Amino acid sequence: MELLKGKVALVTGAARGIGRKIAEAYAVEGADVAFTDLTRDENMASLEKELTALGVKCKGYASDASDFAAAQEAADAIASDFGKIDILVNNAGITRDTLLMRMEEEMWDLVIKVNLKSVFNFTKAVQKYMLKARTGSIINMSSVVGVNGNAGQSNYAASKAGIIGFTKSVAKELGSRNIRCNAVAPGFIVTDMTGKLSEDVKEQWVKTIPLRRGGVPEDVANVCVFLASELSSYVTGQTISVCGGMT
Ligand code: NAI
């Protein structure tokens, strides 16, 4: 359908998992795609090759999204290489799950830094390009855990709830400049992140999902296509759950 033809998208943490599927879906819709991940590895090279074969421009950048200076540097390099940045997907994220009783200070600090500060870092870095263009769509990857909370994930839940507050504020700040900002709250999506969970835990999760299955990364990517495209031109400051009816 080429919903994103002529657009430049930047997706963080996209070498695998949900971010990779978002990058693929954007390329299928005609966008040029810049993406980041921690290191330049096989995954990064294979995504560049795969998307370039679709006839769009694609380049991966090794960059730690949680590092303020590195994020500004990556965004500036991307704007220079691609000419502009129309769409930003703040996808990079990690878990360090345990009960509060066992949670070390480092586990708290790292999850807040990677999940929440990264969103600040890249949103701030692309803001000037979107303001100049007087258009933009920012999509922040939250979680149902940020909406509902979850035992054993107080650090992760706090980071993902923080993203929702940030999203609503940025939507209010930048709306008058035609820049939209929304959050996506996936439920249980089958990726490397959730692959670490035991079969027992996974079965229990599925029982609580009205659609009776875990989601696939494509389920999240489809909503990200909607939020990046003109189909959602009157949608901003919202959190869209992609959770099979969990919330
Ligand atoms: P994943 O672990 O499969 O992929 C995450 C990617 O982010 C990896 O390629 C990783 O190298 C990269 N990354 C990690 N730290 C980074 C950093 N500091 N800078 C740059 N890249 C970094 O995870 P998944 O499942 O694809 O998750 C993607 C996003 O979706 C995360 O924000 C996660 O919290 C969120 N999410 C995932 C759910 C799930 O069930 N899988 C549910 C709800 C939200």
Which overall architecture, per CATH, does domain 8-239 show? 3-Layer(aba) Sandwich (3.40)
Catalytic residue (one of 26, 129, 156, 234): 156
Q: Tens-digit pLDDT profile for the chain (247 aa)? A: 799 999 999 999 999 999 999 999 999 999 999 999 999 999 999 999 999 999 999 999 999 999 999 999 999 999 999 999 999 999 999 999 999 999 999 999 999 999 999 999 999 999 999 999 999 999 999 999 999 999 999 999 999 999 999 999 999 999 999 999 999 999 999 999 888 888 998 899 899 999 999 999 999 999 999 999 999 999 999 999 999 999 8
Helices (H), 5-41: 17-28
Model pLDDT, residue 205: 87
**Ligand 1 pocket check for 114: Cβ under 6 Å:** yes
Across the chain, which distance is largest between two alpha carbons, in Å?
51
Distance CA 169, CA 70 (A): 24
> For this structure, is 129 an active site residue?
no
Nearest CA to ligand 1 atom 2: 193
Show me where the domains of the chain are located.
8-239
Distance CA 204, CA 200 (A): 6
Please enumerate in sequence order all residues whose Cβ is within 8 A of that of 173, keeping only pairs 6 or more positions apart, or say none: none
Whether this prediction's pTM lies above 0.95 is answered by: yes
Model pLDDT, residue 195: 87
